[in-house]
């Protein structure tokens, strides 16, 4: 395991692929010490080889296992002398289908990883964040947290919860000097997407397929700004506004046009 040696540090869950991996690459390229955590051990080893073992600490972590999370954070704290500049709660799974037909085991799994994993991570890491000036607690929400998306209802519900949690903690954590923000990505071309979704996405508009590095850039910008919600792409803010002001109209348009339908 490497040591931060005075460098700023970021703790990333879901770091073995997609948005987490791109974030690890970007921050390492900017001279940060990276903690990368995932259940995909092969992906983590590849990440360590790319970043260099002196620049990172990688470890298998199931974010739903609170005891293991505590051990991972303790090890990270040893490498950073008790500091954490940025906690990136990014680990997530996507299991969809019509809710009435979805196996309840899938429902529980999505809630456990996408919501409980975030709650555990923040609750256990707050000590490191409080010990670090200008630290940021950052979480991956989703464009499905703007308006509930059919056929990914439980996933969407967890991401609504994450968005609300971020808003609440952004107020609470001011007392500690810890900043809080989230990112609401649209259709990001990562392994979490079902086969064919990225290819079927429109070429333009808020539901076009976006490379995961764009989310990594949002994480970087979030650390250097005072902004609560980051939309990738930025046009998604219009869906959030429409869902608040005219939810019935958004509902009806979604019902007519499916996943990629959005207000004008």
List the catalytic residues.
Answer: 155
CA dist list (Å): 122 to 14, 60, 74, 229, 264:
15, 18, 14, 17, 37
| The length of the chain, given as a count of residues | 264
* Residue 81 DSSP label: T
User: Which residue blocks in 13-152 are alpha helix, DSSP H?
Assistant: 18-29, 41-51, 66-80, 104-111, 117-130
* Residue 194 DSSP label: P
Number of Cβ within 10 Å of residue 242's Cβ equals 18
Token pair recorded at residue 178 = 């810890």
| DSSP codes of every residue in 138-189 | EEE--GGGTSPPTT-HHHHHHHHHHHHHHHHHHHHGGGGT-EEEEEEE-SB-
Token pair recorded at residue 65 = 């296992």
């Amino acid at each position: 395991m490497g040591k931060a040696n005075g460098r700023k540090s970021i703790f990333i869950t879901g770091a073995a692929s997609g948005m987490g991996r791109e974030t690890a690459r970007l921050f390492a390229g900017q001279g940060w010490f990276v903690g990368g955590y995932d259940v995909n051990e092969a992906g983590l080893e590849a990440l360590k080889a790319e970043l260099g073992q002196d620049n990172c600490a990688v470890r298998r972590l199931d974010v739903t296992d609170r005891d293991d999370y505590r051990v991972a954070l303790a090890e990270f704290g040893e490498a950073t002398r008790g500091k954490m500049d940025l906690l990136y709660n990014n680990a997530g799974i996507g299991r969809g289908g019509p809710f009435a037909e979805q196996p309840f085991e899938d429902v529980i799994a999505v809630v456990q990883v996408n919501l409980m994993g975030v709650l555990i991570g923040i609750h256990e890491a707050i000590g490191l964040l409080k010990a670090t000036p200008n630290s940021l607690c950052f979480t991956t929400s989703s464009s499905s947290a703007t308006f509930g998306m059919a056929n990914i209802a439980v996933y969407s519900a967890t991401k609504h919860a994450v968005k609300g949690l971020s808003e609440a903690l952004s107020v609470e954590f001011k007392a500690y000097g810890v900043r809080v923000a989230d990112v609401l990505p649209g259709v990001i071309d990562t392994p979490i997407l079902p086969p064919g979704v990225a290819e079927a996405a429109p070429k333009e508009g808020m539901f076009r397929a976006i490379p995961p590095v764009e989310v990594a850039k949002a994480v970087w910008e979030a650390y250097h700004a005072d902004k609560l919600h980051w939309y990738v792409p930025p046009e998604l803010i219009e869906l959030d506004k429409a869902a608040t002001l005219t939810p019935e109209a958004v509902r009806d348009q979604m019902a007519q046009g499916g996943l990629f339908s959005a207000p004008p």
